Amino acid sequence: MEFIGKIIAILPPKEGVSKTGNAWKAQEFVIENHDQYPRKMCFEVFGTDKLEQFNIQLGEELTVSFDIDARQWQDRWFNSIRAWRVDRVAATQQMPAQPAQSAPVMPPPAAAPAFQAGNNDDLPF
């Protein structure tokens, strides 16, 4: 799945050591899309290598590819949204603003003949 938007928050990184003795690092980011009713998504990047590769900065426009998984803990379920790819959104090159061109001046319309009560074919406008 993909989500396109702007990074609006970077949460503190989490670090630890697994049961097998391997060190790990993860960090969560919040991204907001640009829909009429903006939606936010908090996603996680797991692994020091991925964090360095993605190098996500506050305010960046990104396309985040992610997987969703759920896990159970003490009879409750929790969703996990983990990014596996992050791409920068290419800035669209905007054309320089061109000066506004004024509309051509049109001559005033010829005066319409006054409405005549006896002529039923003519409309007064």
Say yes or no to pLDDT of 97 above 80.
no
Element (H, E) at 6: strand 2-10
Please state, in angstroms and rounded to a whole number, the distance separating the CA atoms of residues 80 and 92.
32
The two three-digit tokens of residue 119, written as one number: 């002529």
Look at residue 96 and tell me if it is in a domain: no
CB 62 within 8 A of CB 32: no
Total domains present in the chain: 1
Look at residue 119 and tell me if it is in a domain: no
Look at residue 60 and tell me if it is in a domain: yes
Among residues 86, 61, 48, the alpha carbon closest in space to that of 8 is found at 61
Please compute the mean of the pLDDT values over residues 91-117 and round it to a whole number.
50
Please state, in angstroms and rounded to a whole number, the distance separating the CA atoms of residues 27 and 117.
83
Domain that holds residue 84: 2-88
Look at residue 29 and tell me if it is in a domain: yes
pLDDT digits (tens, 9 = 90+) for 29-73: 999 999 999 999 999 999 999 999 999 999 999 999 999 999 999
Look at residue 104 and tell me if it is in a domain: no
pLDDT digits (tens, 9 = 90+) for 15-29: 999 999 999 999 999
Please state, in angstroms and rounded to a whole number, the distance separating the CA atoms of residues 124 and 104.
28
Report the CATH number at residue 16: 2.40.50.140
The two three-digit tokens of residue 55, written as one number: 């190098």
User: Is pTM, for the whole model, over 0.85?
Assistant: no
* Phi and psi torsions of 81, nearest 5°: -115, 110
Look at residue 114 and tell me if it is in a domain: no
Among residues 11, 18, 22, the alpha carbon closest in space to that of 81 is found at 11
Alpha helices by DSSP H, the chain = 48-54
Look at residue 19 and tell me if it is in a domain: yes
Confidence at residue 99, expressed as pLDDT on a 0 to 100 scale: 45
Look at residue 13 and tell me if it is in a domain: yes
